[in-house]
Amino acid sequence: MQPASTRGGGGGDTLESGGYNRDTSYKPMFFGVAIKITLMLVVVGTTLLILNQSSYPLEFFRSHNSFSGPSSENSNVDSSSFHQHTSRIPPSSPAKDENIELEKTLRRAAMKDNKTVIITNLNAAWTEPNSVFDLFLESFKIGNGTAHLLDHLVVYAYDKTAFERCKTAVRLHCYAVTTEGVDFSGEAYFMSEDYLKMTWRKIDLMRSVLELGYDFVYTDADVMWFRNPFKKFYADGDFEMSCDYYRGNYNDLSNTANTGLTYVKSNDRTIELYKFWYNAREYFPGRHDQDVLNMIKGNPFVHQIGLEFRFVDTAYFGGFCEPTKDLDEVITMHANCCIGIPNKMHDLTMLIDDWKRYMAIPPSNRNSTTRSWTVPRICG
C-alpha cells in the first residue's frame, strides 16, 4: 500500500472550494493508520500462535504420504521434549467414572506378571446364534495352548445386547462402551457412518488403556487364535501389527498395515501415537482408523517421538488376503479381504473345520495336504 502523499496527481492535495489546497494533516493520519495496522498484525499473530499451541501442526499431516524409513539420527528423542507439544488437543476422553470402571475391568483381566490384556469389540449384530463371536471364542478353546488366554480377554460391548451376551460367557471380562447419541446395535456396514464412529471410539479407548498403564493385544472378533502369539512378538517392540500383505521385512513401512491385530506397550511413545492418530481423523474425514494409520505411519512426527512400527509376518499371522500356508506355523488367521457377516461366517466356519481336522491327525501323519487350508472360498 502506497502512502497517501504519492496517490493520484496531487498526492496530499484535497479538493476544496473549487481548487486544490495542500493538506498539511496527512502525516499524522498516516502514522495513525500505521499504528492501527501494527496493532492488527500483533492481534492476528497472537491468535495464530494460540491456535498453533492448541493443535497438532498441519505440516505433520501434510507429509502423511512420506513412507521413507526413519533415519538413525536422533532416533531416541527424549519423550519430555515432545509430550507438551503433542498433548495439546485431548481426545474425547471417557468420563471420569467411566475411566474408573475401565480400570477395574483391566485390573481383573490383566496378566499378573506384565499388566497385559487382550481386547476385542462386540455389538449385537455379531452376537447372533452361531455368530462370528462364537467362532472367535471357539478358536481359543481348540487352539494349541490358547484356552488360558480367555482369562485375559476384555470385550468392549457397544450395546446392551452385546454386553448381556458377553456376561453369559464364562471367564470373559465385559466392559460396556457408552457413546452418547449413537446406536451401535445393528451391523455397522463397512465405511458407513456408524462403522467409522465405532472405529474411532475404539482408538480413543485404546489410548485410555495405555494411559492407565496397561499393555494390550487388540484383536478383531474375526481373527481366529490357534497358537499363543506372545512367543512371536518382539520383546523390545512398542507397536506391532498384522498386515494384509507382508513384504519380507518387519520394519518396512510399505507393508500394508491391518489394525485387526495389534500388540501395543504402554509408554510415552505409544500414548502420543494414539493421540496423534485419533486427532488425524479430522484431517482425513471419511477414512477409518486403518486407512489413517497407513497414511501417518511414515510421518516425521512418528520418528520424532522415537516410535518404530513393526509388522508381523503373514507366515504366522495370516488372513484371507494372504493366508498362512502351513498349519504347523499358523498363530492367527483373520477374515480380512472379506466384507459382510454371512461371507465371513461361511469361510471362518470352514477355517475352524480345517483346524479341527488338522489337530485330529497325529503329527507324524501330517503332510503338505493336511497342513493347508481349504479357504478362502467366498472371501479373499
Distance CA 252, CA 243 (A): 11
What is the predicted pLDDT for the residue at 34?
Answer: 53
62 inside domain: no
User: What does the block give as the cell for 349?
Assistant: 466356519
Q: Kindly report the pTM of this predicted structure.
A: 0.76
**pLDDT tens column, 156-199:** 999 889 999 999 988 899 999 976 655 444 444 444 566 678 88
Going by pLDDT thresholds of 50, 70 and 90, the confidence category of residue 38 is low
Of the chain, the percentage scoring pLDDT greater than 70 comes to 70
Q: How many other CB atoms are found less than 10 A from the CB of residue 42?
A: 10
For residue 262, the enclosing domain spans: 80-365
Distance CA 319, CA 334 (A): 4
Domain harbouring 349, CATH code: 3.90.550.10
Distance CA 221, CA 216 (A): 15
* Nearest CA among 306, 326, 304, 303 for reference residue 316: 326
| Burial class of residue 116, CB neighbours in 10 A (0-12, 13-18, 19+) | buried
Distance CA 53, CA 217 (A): 33
What is the predicted pLDDT for the residue at 111?
Answer: 97
* pLDDT exceeds cutoff 70 at 321: yes
311 inside domain: yes
Distance CA 348, CA 227 (A): 16
347 inside domain: yes
CA 45, 49, 54, 60 dihedral sign is positive
**pLDDT tens column, 147-166:** 999 999 999 999 889 999 99
5 inside domain: no
294 inside domain: yes
**pLDDT tens column, 339-355:** 999 999 999 999 999 99
* pLDDT exceeds cutoff 80 at 57: no
63 inside domain: no
Query: Looking at the DSSP assignment, which residues form a beta bridge with residue 262?
Result: 218, 241
Per this entry, what is the length of the chain? Answer: 380
What is the predicted pLDDT for the residue at 368?
Answer: 82
133 Cβ partners below 8 Å, 6+ apart? 122, 126, 127, 165, 221
Q: Compare 75 and 261 and report the one with higher pLDDT.
A: 261
305 inside domain: yes
Averaged pLDDT for residues 47-63: 43
**Omega before 376 within 30 of 0, i.e. cis:** yes
What is the predicted pLDDT for the residue at 191?
Answer: 43
**pLDDT tens column, 269-299:** 999 999 999 999 999 998 989 999 999 999 9
Going by pLDDT thresholds of 50, 70 and 90, the confidence category of residue 35 is low
Averaged pLDDT score across all residues of the chain: 79
**pLDDT tens column, 114-131:** 999 999 999 888 888 789
68 inside domain: no
Give how many domains the chain has, as a whole number: 1
Residue 270, amino acid? T
> The cell 497385559 sits on which residue?
116
Residue 311 in contact with residue 250, Cβ under 8 Å? yes
What is the predicted pLDDT for the residue at 42?
Answer: 47
